[in-house]
Chain A
Amino acid sequence: EDQVTQSPEALRLQEGESSSLNCSYTVSGLRGLFWYRQDPGKGPEFLFTLYSAGEEKEKERLKATLTKKESFLHITAPKPEDSATYLCAVQARGAGGTSYGKLTFGQGTILTVHP
């Protein structure tokens, strides 16, 4: 069974204080690892997809990295508008090479950035 565990559950930062969120996973053949941002009362918004160990992707103050067992979302000099819940999800290769796009999500990390 595919599993995703995110840590910490909640993270409070001061504006400008860089940090990292962790996503540990076990999956029967990783097809892709996805990061989403979710604001209160809204649906998740796509950030990144990582496909293989060693891959990195950046978007503004966010950088996602991937190893064979975990992914990190690094937040550099965060601003209050970066406050949100960050979700990690994995897509397995599945039997026959397809999982029909299904994702297994972690429980999320609630990030609060204080001015």
Chain B
Amino acid sequence: NAGVTQTPKFRILKIGQSMTLQCAQDMNHNYMYWYRQDPGMGLKLIYYSVGAGITDKGEVPNGYNVSRSTTEDFPLRLELAAPSQTSVYFCASIAGTEYNEQFFGPGTRLTVL
């Protein structure tokens, strides 16, 4: 198993541009999550999904969108990038029940200029 994979690792965007952060897992996990991590701050939940076709907002969803058409993939979409979206983004998934630990991907570092 490759675990949780994220692409790209780094990206620089101009204000107003759009992009999609990719997240995939090959472990057949139902629960998947997107977080952002700002310096000196903990991880903040953006969106989550409990299975294909089911998504819901987390703590900081504004400016982002998600979709979950398959169990494996959970892309995060930024439509109109703003400097406030400069952050490190992590995708995570849970094996088995929702009470188990989350496995994290390596992260995508995004800078919006």
A interface, CB within 8 angstroms of B: 4, 9, 31-32, 34, 36, 41-46, 49, 87, 89, 91, 98-108
CA distance A101 to B45 in the complex (A): 11
B90 within 8 A of A: yes
CB contact list, B26-60 vs A, under 8 A: 31, 33, 35, 40-45, 48, 50, 56, 58
B101 within 8 A of A: yes
B interface, CB within 8 angstroms of A: 4, 31, 33, 35, 40-45, 48, 50, 56, 58, 90, 92, 94, 98-107
CA distance A52 to B51 in the complex (A): 29
Q: Which residues of A contact B48 (CB under 8 A)?
A: 100-102
CB closest chain-B residue, reference A87: B42
Q: Which residues of A contact B44 (CB under 8 A)?
A: 105
Label chain B's interface by main secondary structure: strand
State how many angstroms separate the Cβ of B24 from the closest Cβ of chain A: 14
Q: Check A45–B104 contact: CB distance below 8 A.
A: yes
Which of B41, B45, B107 is within 8 Å of A107, CB to CB? B41
Given the interface pairs A87-B42, A102-B45, the reply to whether A46 lies near B103 with Cβ below 8 Å is yes
Which of B31, B33, B99, B101 is within 8 Å of A46, CB to CB? B101
State how many angstroms separate the Cβ of A102 from the closest Cβ of chain B: 6
State how many angstroms separate the Cβ of A74 from the closest Cβ of chain B: 20
Given the interface pairs A43-B90, A49-B101, the reply to whether A100 lies near B42 with Cβ below 8 Å is no
CB closest chain-B residue, reference A4: B42
State how many angstroms separate the Cβ of B69 from the closest Cβ of chain A: 19
State how many angstroms separate the Cβ of B80 from the closest Cβ of chain A: 26
